[in-house]
Structure 1
Amino acid sequence: MNGLYALKPWYADRLAGLRRALAARQVSPDTLTAAGVVCAAGAAAALAWLPAPPAALVVAVLLAGRLAFANLDGALARDTGRTTRRGALLNELGDRAADLLVIAGFLPLAPLWLVAAAAFATTLPSWVSLAGAAAGAPRRNGGPVGKTERCLLAVVAAASGWAVPVLAVVAAGSAVTAVVRAVWVWRALGRPEAAVAAAARERGVGTERAMATGRDVASEKPAVRVAEPASSSPRRRPSPSPAPSPSSSPALGSLPSEHDRSLPLDPGEVSGGITHTRPQSPADRGTRLRGAR
């Protein structure tokens, strides 16, 4: 339920020529924010001091200017590449100040408690939107009684003189708008992509990049690569080379018997990086002893 806020794209298109002219003259977006606050103050003064029917035209023109400057400051900053965090802060403060100034115009026309209640209620929707955006939800604007509707109701009060009923509608409608936004933000924060965006912002990771991974980057841990062994199967020790038969090596004599396994061993051949040994036969020992003499 966006209300009159749904007309914002159409309204922004109507202001495109003025936005280009302001960009060509290098007008600061902060100047436009300040101009919106001045227009709100002028509308409040006209609402408080001018009689009911004639005040409507002045209030309508000034509040139209207030809405135009609120649209132009952010758009001009984006078009000219002058978006800054200080500018975003100034924009929010300017909007809240303009809202409160318009409500202050009802001070001579309505009870103080009702003016205070309306002033408090008009800030609630923005608090909800900013809190949701800080938690990772998209910024929620519009509503049953948003900024545009409040300006329209102020014009109705200036034209009819029904300050108290209009102010009551502003207070109640703003509270309902805050509830509607809170429900929408609550549901949005329950979606997985909102948690990913919030975690990415905390860790300094780009939101689009975090969305592409499909993971919760807040719980993501660096992977540790464990070196795997060269072969998963155990190394098999090659069987010892068979002892030569008497026919192939007459000098070695017969094969060793069971009692020869306790005899000293001499180095054998190397196969596959493992040295094999074989028992010495009596003929081998005799041959070595003769060679030593």
Structure 2
Amino acid sequence: MNGLYALKPWYADRLSGVRGALAARRVSPDALTAAGVGCAAGAAAALAFLPAPLAALPVAVLLTARLAFAHLDGALARDTGRMTRRGAVLNELGDRAADLLVIAGFLPLAPLWLVAVAAFASTLPSWVSLAGAAAGAPRRNGGPVGKTERCLLAVVVAATGWAVPVLGVVAAGSAVTALVRFGGVWRALGQPTETDQREPVTVASAAPARTASTPAPLPRRRPALTLNTPSTQASRSLALDHGEVSGGVSHTRARSSVEYGEQARGNR
């Protein structure tokens, strides 16, 4: 349900020559954003201070220019390679400011509370679209009462003076548009992304796997404890060929089993 937003490709084709001329003159996209806000302020002034139906023509011309500048600033930035994050912020702020300025033109024509409700509701569709885009969903535009439809309704008020019923349509239609966009964003975010469809990666263990050709490590043997008694000195002498530590303090020369045997016979 794109509403009048479906006419944007046709409108963009009509503006292609203007876009080329602006690019040749190196006009800044930010200047076009500011021009769109200025047109919205002029339309609000005409709506507030000119009687119907005299306000219809200037409001229609200024809001048509406001929509043209809203398209041209982004298109010119893409064509000339001057797309920046600051420009994107200015573009969004300029659109919101222009919307609120047009609604402010209804202040002399309707109760303050109704103007405030319509102003708040008119921003809801954009906030839903921005929140969805921030979460990774495609940017949602259009709807039953989007930016283009609100400009058309302002022209209707300028021609007829029916401010109160038109503000009611703006408030209710903007709320419905926000719900429609939210539904589209919710469905888009529920679809699995390419990252979600990837198989989980198994992290390999830091210890290398042992293969059949890799010998198993030999167990470390603990030294056997022997008692330093005359009955075990003969067996200890066979294991020591360079010397041993006695009591952890001094080294003594290893003696053969023959010496221990002779000493044993001499001690009988």
Q: TM-score range by the shorter chain?
A: 0.7 to 0.9
Which of 204, 215, 228 aligns to 1:224? It is: 204
Partner of 1:11: 11
Q: Given the two structures, how large is their TM-score scaled by the length of structure 2?
A: 0.76
Q: CA deviation at 1:224?
A: 2.7
Q: CA deviation at 1:135?
A: 1.1
Tell me, which stretches of 5 or more residues in structure 2 are unaligned?
217-268
Structure 2 matches for 1:92-171, cutoff 5 A? 92-171=92-171
Q: CA deviation at 1:215?
A: 2.1
Tell me, which stretches of 5 or more residues in structure 1 are unaligned?
197-209, 236-293
Which deviates the most, 67-76 or 126-135?
Answer: 126-135
Alpha-carbon separation, structure 1, partners of 2:13 and 2:59 = 23
Letter in 2 for 1:118: A
Partner of 1:174: 174
- Deviation string 1:18-45 (CA, Å, 9 cap, x unpaired) is 0010000000000000000000000000
- Give secondary structure in 1 for the equivalent of 2:204: coil
Partner of 1:215: 198
Alpha-carbon separation, structure 2, partners of 1:215 and 1:100 = 45
- Give secondary structure in 2 for the equivalent of 1:52: coil
Q: CA deviation at 1:227?
A: 4.3
Alpha-carbon separation, structure 2, partners of 1:222 and 1:35 = 56
Letter in 2 for 1:85: R
Alpha-carbon separation, structure 1, partners of 2:202 and 2:5 = 44
Give the 3 Å change call, closer, same or farther, for CA 46–232 of structure 1 in structure 2.
Answer: farther
- Give secondary structure in 2 for the equivalent of 1:107: coil
Aligned length: 215
Asked which structure has the greater RCO (Cα within 8 Å, sep 6+), the reply is 2
Structure 2 matches for 1:60-99, cutoff 5 A? 60-99=60-99
- Structure 1 consecutive aligned stretches of length 4 or more whose deviation exceeds 3 Å: 220-223, 225-235
Q: CA deviation at 1:54?
A: 1.4
Q: CA deviation at 1:234?
A: 9.8
Letter in 1 for 2:123: T
Q: Given the two structures, how large is their TM-score scaled by the length of structure 1?
A: 0.70
Alpha-carbon separation, structure 2, partners of 1:61 and 1:223 = 64
- Deviation string 1:188-235 (CA, Å, 9 cap, x unpaired) is 111002xx5xxxxxxxxxxxxx58xx428xxx6574377444448999
Alpha-carbon separation, structure 2, partners of 1:215 and 1:187 = 21
- Give secondary structure in 2 for the equivalent of 1:192: coil
Q: CA deviation at 1:136?
A: 1.2
